[in-house]
Amino acid sequence: MPELPEVETIRRQLAPRLHHRRILEAHSHPSEKFTPATATVGATIGGLNRRGKYLIAALDDGQELIVHLGMTGSLAVTSDRPDDPYVRAWWRLDDHQVLIYRDVRRFGRIRCVPAGCYHTIPTLAAQGPDALSTDFTAEGLYQALRRSRRRIPTQLLSQRPVAGVGNIYATEALWRAGIHPARRAVSRPAATRLHAALIQVLNAGLANGGTTLRDYRNADGRPGSNQDALACYGRSGQPCLRCATDLQRRRYDARTLTFCPQCQPR
């Protein structure tokens, strides 16, 4: 699933192409997950923002077009609508370009809501501060984590302590911070390390254009390169880059997580 670096990469590519563009026509797959795309016809896009893993286009009619990419979703601007059965929605713009939303597995979703009214999108309404915003602090992370007894990765992936983090970057950050994925609580110093590690791995992922393990492509159709820089995720059985101990893989809360038994003591 695209995480913050992947979604932000797409946002940065699309924002200048969509700014001040008027939507002349819109079509969608008949599923109610995608039909809200058609409610945008006639509106002008004022800007493209992001909150966590959500892309949010501000419209001049007081609405916001909200897109979640799910596991296999992608957005691109093309000269015409492609003949592609996996296109779930498209918008024709006033510069003769077409914004395409493609989603093979249909786990993504589209919503059109009054600006700031997210009660119909519970995961967006309840998420914590964006991981790359100034609202995300070490103390805030510590306080959020201590309010739950769930395992730390499960808390992170819930988006409530911090928004934008998924399995890849949580695994990388826990390895950097020296925190075992089975842990249910952390000290304030450990939370401070985790806060710094999350920011580091997310910024690295963004600098590398995101992580492509299989499906992710940016708005130009190109894969990211951050998969070549991963230190822990997907490296089970290989030596830890810090201590040379073989990395291990375990299943916690229905998720498979990789860690170093030496650097991340339980």
Question: 155 and 198: one domain?
Answer: yes
Q: Which of 33, 53, 217, 235 is flagged as catalytic?
A: 53
Q: Which helix (H) or strand (E) holds 196?
A: helix 188-207
Which amino acid is present at 10?
Answer: I
Kindly tell me the sign of the dihedral angle through the C-alpha atoms of 80, 81, 83, 87: positive
* Mean pLDDT rounded to a whole number for the chain: 97
pLDDT score, position 134: 97
Question: 119 and 156: one domain?
Answer: no
pLDDT score, position 230: 98
Task: Give the count of alpha carbons within 13 A of 87, CB side only.
Answer: 17
Single out the residue in 123, 152, 184 at which a domain terminates.
123
| Percent of the chain whose predicted confidence (pLDDT) is above 70 | 100
Answer whether residue 217 is part of any domain. Answer: yes
Question: 111 and 158: one domain?
Answer: no
How much is the average pLDDT of 170-191? 98
> What are the φ/ψ torsions at residue 35 (nearest 5 degrees)?
-60, -25
Answer whether residue 255 is part of any domain. Answer: yes
Which amino acid is present at 264?
Answer: Q
Answer whether residue 264 is part of any domain. Answer: no
Contact of 78 with 100, CB cutoff 8 Å:
yes
Answer whether residue 128 is part of any domain. Answer: no
pLDDT band at 180 (very low <50, low <70, confident <90, very high): very high
How much is the average pLDDT of 42-55? 98
Q: Please state, in angstroms and rounded to a whole number, the distance separating the CA atoms of residues 69 and 108.
A: 5
Q: Please state, in angstroms and rounded to a whole number, the distance separating the CA atoms of residues 237 and 249.
A: 8
Answer whether residue 129 is part of any domain. Answer: no
Report the DSSP pairing between strands 98-103 and 63-68. Answer: unpaired
Contact of 266 with 182, CB cutoff 8 Å:
yes
Q: pTM of this prediction?
A: 0.95
What is the longest distance spanned by two Cα atoms in the chain? 59
Domain holding 75: CATH number? Answer: 3.20.190.10
Radius of gyration of the chain from its Cα atoms, rounded to whole angstroms: 19
Q: Is 85 a residue of the active site?
A: no
| Percent of the chain whose predicted confidence (pLDDT) is above 90 | 97
Which amino acid is present at 151?
Answer: R
Count of domains observed in the chain:
2
Residues 18-48: tens digit of each pLDDT:
999 999 999 999 999 999 999 999 999 999 9
Q: Is 33 a residue of the active site?
A: no
Question: 33 and 8: one domain?
Answer: yes
Count other C-beta atoms under 10 Å from residue 57's C-beta: 26
Answer whether residue 133 is part of any domain. Answer: no
Q: Is 109 a residue of the active site?
A: no
Q: Is 32 a residue of the active site?
A: no
Answer whether residue 212 is part of any domain. Answer: yes
Q: Which helix (H) or strand (E) holds 14?
A: helix 4-18
pLDDT band at 176 (very low <50, low <70, confident <90, very high): very high
Q: Which of 17, 150, 250, 255 is flagged as catalytic?
A: 255
pLDDT score, position 81: 84
Question: 116 and 157: one domain?
Answer: no
Question: 142 and 255: one domain?
Answer: yes
Q: Is the pLDDT of residue 82 over 90?
A: no
Question: 194 and 249: one domain?
Answer: yes
Task: Give the count of alpha carbons within 13 A of 240, CB side only.
Answer: 19
Torsion of CA 194, 199, 205, 208, to 10 degrees: -140
How far from 169 is each of 5, 12, 71, 131, 199, CA to CA, in Å? 9, 20, 15, 11, 10
Domain holding 196: CATH number? Answer: 1.10.8.50
Q: Is the pLDDT of residue 138 over 90?
A: yes
Question: 149 and 61: one domain?
Answer: no
Single out the residue in 92, 123, 154 at which a domain terminates.
123
How much is the average pLDDT of 235-261? 97
Question: 106 and 144: one domain?
Answer: no
Residues 191-216: tens digit of each pLDDT:
999 999 999 999 999 999 999 999 99
pLDDT score, position 1: 79
Sheet order of strands, 45-51 included: 45-51, 54-59, 63-68, 109-114
- Look-up of token digits 């306080």: 143
Question: 84 and 158: one domain?
Answer: no
Question: 171 and 221: one domain?
Answer: yes
Helices in 52-166 by DSSP H: which ranges?
122-125, 138-146, 152-157
How much is the average pLDDT of 44-61? 98
Residues 93-115: tens digit of each pLDDT:
999 999 999 999 999 999 999 99
Torsion of CA 30, 49, 119, 132, to 10 degrees: 130
Question: 75 and 187: one domain?
Answer: no
Residue 161's domain comprises 138-259
CA proximity to 208, closest of 168, 257, 261? 168
